[in-house]
Amino acid sequence: MAMESCTMTKKLEVHFILIPLMSAGHVLPIVDLAKLLGRRNNVKVTIMTTPVNAVRVGANIDREIQCCGSSISVQPFRFPSVEAGLPEGCESSEAVPCPDLMYNFAKATTMLQKPVEEALEKIVIPTIPTCFILDKNLPFLFDVAKKFKVPIIISDALNCFSLLCNHNLFHSKVYENVSESESFVVPGLPHRIVFKKYQLQEYFSMNVGEFNVLREKVWQNEGEAFGVLVNSFQELEEEYVKEFTRLTGHKVYCVGPLSLVNKEHKDKAQRGKLDSKEEEEEGEYLRWLDSWPATSVIFANLGSLTFVPPGQVMEIILGLEASKRPFIWVLIMRDAHKRKELNKLLKEDGVEERVKGRGLIIRGWVPQILILSHTAIGAFLTHCGWNSTLEGITSGVPLITFPLTAEQFYNEKVAVQLLETGVRVGVEKAMHFEVEDKSGIQVRREKVKEAIEKVMGEEDEESKRIRERAGNYREKANKAMEKGGSSYLNLSLMIEDIKQHFRRRVEDDDSKSEP
Ligand SMILES: *[C@@H]1O[C@H](CO)[C@@H](O)[C@H](O)[C@H]1NC(C)=O
Ligand SMILES: *[C@@H]1O[C@H](CO)[C@@H](O)[C@H](O)[C@H]1NC(C)=O
Ligand SMILES: *[C@@H]1O[C@H](CO)[C@@H](O)[C@H](O)[C@H]1NC(C)=O
C-alpha cells in the first residue's frame, strides 16, 4: 500500500519503452536495464514482450517494484508462432524445438508490427518525453516506433569491439575474396586482429534469405537511430568505444555490466530462471562448492550445444577429467537425437562414474552468476556468448574460451588479446548450424587440458598474471556501475539526452507556431 502511494506521487519525467529480442540472452539484460532505469528518479519503464516471456520476467519485476518502488510495467503482445510455422507457445529462441525451425523463428520476428502496434495502443503513451529502446534484431519494429516520432535507442547484444569489427568488415569487404581458411587482418582497429572467414558472424559467410533481409534492415536502422546502448563499460574497451563513436557518429552509451544490478542473492539466483523447481538443487551446488578450496574448481558452461557433434562434447569432458581438478559442467544438448547419441557415448566410456565426487555434470539450468561469484571457482570454460563472457569478467575469473557460433570468436579476442585474461582452447571454425556435421571434432582432450593448465597452473608465472588481471577487471567492472562510475554516468547522460531532445523539439514547435 505504502509503495503504491509512493509511485503515485512520483513526478514522472521520462518514459522508456523496452522491447528485447525473444531469447534469454537478450531478455535478461533488458530486464536488468529496466531495473537500473527504474531506480533513477522520476523514470517510468515499460517492457514489451510476448505473453510467455512476460510471465517469465513478471516475478523478477514484481520483486523490484516491492523493493525499490520503481515504476516498471510489463505489456505483452501476441507472438505469431503458428503463422510462422512454429508450435503454439513457442515464443523464444530457446523454445524452438529443432534447428531447421530457426528460420521460422526469424520469420516470426518480422511479423511483429501489428501485434506491437495493437499493444502500444493499450499503453497510454504519457505526454512526458518518451524513448524506445529496441533490440537491433527486431529491425521491423523501427517503423512502428517511428510513427510515434520519438527517439529510438538501439540495444545491441554485442560489445563495441564486435560492433567495430562488423562495421569495418562490412565497409571494407576484406572477407570477400579470401578463402574460408585464409587469415586476414580486420582494417582500422586499434589492435592487429586476425580472423579467418569461417570465424566471422554468420552473415558474412552465409547467404540465407530471411536473415539477409533482416541484416540489410539492421544496417539501415543503425544509421537512423538516436543512439546505441551497449552492455559493456568504458574501461573494458575504451579505444573501441571511441573509434566506433567516431566512425559512426552515434551516441554510444556503455551502461554495463548490466548483470551487476542484481545485488541480492535472490536476484542473482533467479536471473534467467524459467521455473522455480530447482531451488533445492541450487543449494546443493553451492554447498558442494563450499567443500572445495578457493579458486580450485573449473566451471564449464558452453550454453546450448545444439550444433556441436557429440564426439566433440566427449573430448571436452575427457579433457576436464584429465585436468584432475574439480569441475562443474552444465551440459545442455537440446537436440533429442544428439542427446541420445551423447548419452550412449558417455555410458560406454564410463567417465561419469570415474569422476564421481570431483566432477558434477548438471543437465539443466544453473544460477550462473551465483556460481561464478563463489570463491571456489578458479576458471570459467565458456562458449564466449557476450552475456557469459561479461559475467565471467565481472566475477574476476580467468576464461578458457571455446567459441561456437555468432560473434563468439570476436569475444574470444576480447578475452585473450585485449584483456589478456583468457586462454583459447583452440577452436578454429565456427559451428553455425549449417556446417555442424562437417565440422567434426576440432579440439582433442589434450588441448582442453592444456588450456586449463595455462590459467590454473599454480607455479606458472604467466598463469599468475592472467589471474591477477582477471581479478583487476572485477574491480573495474564494479566501479563502473557504482554511483559516479562511467556506466552510471553514461546512463545518466542517456536520460538527460532524451529530456534535452524533447525540450529542443518543444522549442522548435513553439518557434514555428509564432507568426
Ligand atoms: C545469460 O546469462 C544467464 C545467467 O545469468 C543464463 O541463464 C542465460 O542462459 C544466458 N543467456 C545466454 C544466451 O547465454
Ligand atoms: C573482390 O573481387 C571482385 C571481382 O574481382 C572485385 O570487384 C572486388 O573489388 C574485390 N573485393 C575486394 C575487397 O578486394
Ligand atoms: C560515457 O562516459 C564516458 C566516460 O565518462 C564519456 O567519455 C562518454 O562521452 C560517455 N558517453 C556518452 C554517449 O555520453
Ligand 3 contacts (CB < 6 A) are 234, 251-253, 486, 489-490, 493
Same CATH topology for 10-172+226-255+482-513 and 277-478? yes
CA distance 442 to 440: 6
Is residue 490 a contact partner of residue 254, using CB atoms and an 8 Å limit? yes
Q: How many residues does the chain have?
A: 515
Q: Write out residues in the chain with pLDDT < 50, as ranges.
A: 1-8, 274, 436
Given the CA of residue 172, which atom of ligand 2 is nearest to it?
A: 13
Ligand nearest to the CA of 270: 1
What grid cell was written down for 29? 539484460
pLDDT digits (tens, 9 = 90+) for 293-332: 999 999 999 988 878 899 999 999 999 999 999 999 999 8
- Compute, in angstroms, the gap from residue 199 CA to the centroid of ligand 2: 20
CA distance 195 to 428: 10
CA distance 448 to 266: 34
- Compute, in angstroms, the gap from residue 374 CA to the centroid of ligand 1: 17
Q: Which residues does residue 329 pair with via DSSP β-bridges, in sequence order?
A: 300, 361
What grid cell was written down for 139? 529491425
Residue in 27, 28, 260 to alter for ligand 1 test, most ligand atoms within 8 A of Cβ: 28
Given the CA of residue 383, which atom of ligand 1 is nearest to it?
A: 14
Q: How far is CA 39 from the centre of its chain?
A: 22
The string of DSSP letters for 442-467 reads -S-HHHHHHHHHHHH-SS-HHHHHHH
Q: Which residues does residue 18 pair with via DSSP β-bridges, in sequence order?
A: 47, 133
Alpha helices, DSSP H, located in 334-373: 336-349, 351-354, 368-372
Task: Give the per-residue pLDDT at 5.
Answer: 40
- Compute, in angstroms, the gap from residue 385 CA to the centroid of ligand 1: 9
- Closest C-alpha among 25, 102, 87, 86 to residue 307: 102
Ligand nearest to the CA of 173: 2
Domain ranges of the chain: 10-172+226-255+482-513, 277-478
Task: Give the per-residue pLDDT at 123.
Answer: 80
CA distance 153 to 252: 9
Percent of the chain scoring above 90 in pLDDT = 66
Ligand 2 contacts CB of residue 363 (under 6 A) = no
**Which one-letter amino acid corresponds to residue 483?**
K
Residue in 232, 490, 498, 501 to alter for ligand 3 test, most ligand atoms within 8 A of Cβ: 490
Q: Which residues does residue 131 pair with via DSSP β-bridges, in sequence order?
A: 16
Residue 471: its H or E element: helix 461-481
Task: Give the per-residue pLDDT at 301.
Answer: 97
Backbone angles phi, psi at 328, to 5 degrees: -115, 125
How many other C-beta atoms lie within 10 A of the C-beta of residue 309? 20
Please report, for residues 319, 415, 426, the alpha-carbon distance to residue 461 in angstroms, rounded to integers and kept in the order given: 23, 18, 21
CATH of domain 10-172+226-255+482-513: 3.40.50.2000
How many other C-beta atoms lie within 10 A of the C-beta of residue 66? 10
Residue in 486, 491, 494 to alter for ligand 3 test, most ligand atoms within 8 A of Cβ: 486
Backbone angles phi, psi at 334, to 5 degrees: -80, -30
Nearest CA to ligand 1 atom 7: 272
- Write down the CATH superfamily of domain 277-478: Glycogen Phosphorylase B; (3.40.50.2000)
Nearest CA to ligand 2 atom 4: 177
- Closest C-alpha among 203, 199, 206 to residue 216: 203
Backbone angles phi, psi at 76, to 5 degrees: -80, 150
Query: What letter does residue 124 receive in the DSSP assignment?
Result: -
* Preceding amide of 126 cis, omega within 30: no
Active site residues: 26, 135
pTM value is 0.90
Q: Which residues does residue 301 pair with via DSSP β-bridges, in sequence order?
A: 330, 382
What grid cell was written down for 125? 503513451
Task: Give the per-residue pLDDT at 208.
Answer: 54
- Compute, in angstroms, the gap from residue 121 CA to the centroid of ligand 1: 32
Ligand 1 contacts CB of residue 387 (under 6 A) = yes
Ligand 1 contacts CB of residue 272 (under 6 A) = yes
CA distance 64 to 70: 7
Given the CA of residue 177, which atom of ligand 2 is nearest to it?
A: 1
pLDDT digits (tens, 9 = 90+) for 238-266: 999 999 999 999 899 999 999 999 876 66
Ligand 1 contacts CB of residue 385 (under 6 A) = yes
